[in-house]
Amino acid sequence: MAEPILSTRDVVVDYAGFHALDGVSLDVREGTVHAIIGPNGAGKTTFFNALSGFARATQGSIRFTGIEIGGLDPAAIARMGMVRSFQISSIFPHLTVLDNVKIALQARTSLSRRLVASPKTTAVLDDPARAALAGVGLVDELDGPAANLPYGKKRSLELAIALSQDPRVLLLDEPTAGMGIEDIDRTVELIKAIAPGRTIVLVEHNLRVVADLCDRVTVMQRGKVLVEGSYDEVRSDERVVNAYLGGGHA
């Protein structure tokens, strides 16, 4: 079998002596949609932070495309092709939807080295930014302030910002959180549409979404991997049932 595109071994992340991650070893195969589930506080977001360079692993190894990336900063990891979805809080509310994506694109090009990029130089980012927004169904709201988007579309904008980086591996932390059923369905379709040719790792609480989207499921609990397998294997595992019943809501 081919080497996994992403592979961690015994990753530990410490917060003042508390192990938010306590030895996580996990392989993600290229081209799969891989879910990470588990009770609140299990360490799922911390794991994404470690993968994307936002948290420093104090022990263990993180290999992406066979290259050790532990210790690299987020921008370097994004340039290598692993991108984490940005949270709504990173959207600039007063800028237009289009400019939000252009800013993200600018951050990964040489344009960011200029203190102030002129409108003329950033015009080259128009087409890729529009393409990313078209990909998430936001073509009709390019010119309005991002603040005016309803919640579900703000989440789509986050996805467009991540997609504009053309990631090989996309990390999505609870992409359907807080959504009503219609936005959930739309987001599932969106993820299906962007999945071909990429690898997607997502943290997801909605098990219907996991069942619908994911080839592989890893269950985390208290900073460790509890179980890994297909959705059906994981769902019927007694340890998983106990973790969910005993460890807060799913």
Ligand X SMILES: Nc1ncnc2c1ncn2[C@@H]1O[C@H](COP(=O)(O)OP(=O)(O)O)[C@@H](O)[C@H]1O
- C-beta separation of 129 from 105 below 8 A: yes
* Binding letters toward ligand X, positions 200-219, x by CB under 6 A: --------------------
Beta strands in 38-149 (DSSP E): 59-64, 67-68, 82-84
Choices 23-31, 35-43, 61-69, 148-156; region in contact with ligand X by CB under 6 A? 35-43
Residue among 10, 40, 112, 239 that touches ligand X (CB under 6 A): 40
Among residues 87, 83, 58, which one has the least CA distance to residue 6? 83
Cα 104 from Cα 205, distance rounded (Å): 28
Binding-residue total with ligand X (CB under 6 A): 10
| Two tokens, residue 148 | 């005016």
Residue 60, interface with ligand X (CB under 6 A)?
Answer: no
Pick 49 or 187: Cβ nearer ligand X: 49
- Phi–psi pair at 48, nearest 5 degrees: -60, -40
d(CA 81, CA 99): 22
Residue 198 interacting with ligand X (CB under 6 A): no
CB 61, min distance to ligand X, A:
19
Which element (helix H / strand E) includes 209?
Answer: helix 207-213
Helices (H), ranges, 53-150: 74-80, 97-107, 119-122, 126-135
Judged by beta carbon distances under 5 to 8 A according to partner kind, the member of ligand X, Mg ion, none in contact with residue 210 is none
3-state secondary structure of 172: strand
Q: Does 130 bind ligand X (CB under 6 A)?
A: no
Regarding 84 and contact with ligand X (CB under 6 A), the answer is no
Output 44 or 154, the one with its CB closest to Mg ion.
44
Contact partner, 41, from ligand X, Mg ion, none, Cβ < 5-8 Å per class: ligand X
Select from 41-49, 86-94, 142-150, 242-250 the region that touches ligand X (CB under 6 A). Answer: 41-49
**Distance from chain centroid for Cα 147:** 22
Among the listed residues 42, 132, 133, 149, the single contact to ligand X using CB under 6 A: 42
Q: Contact residues for ligand X (CB under 6 A)? A: 15, 20, 38, 40-46
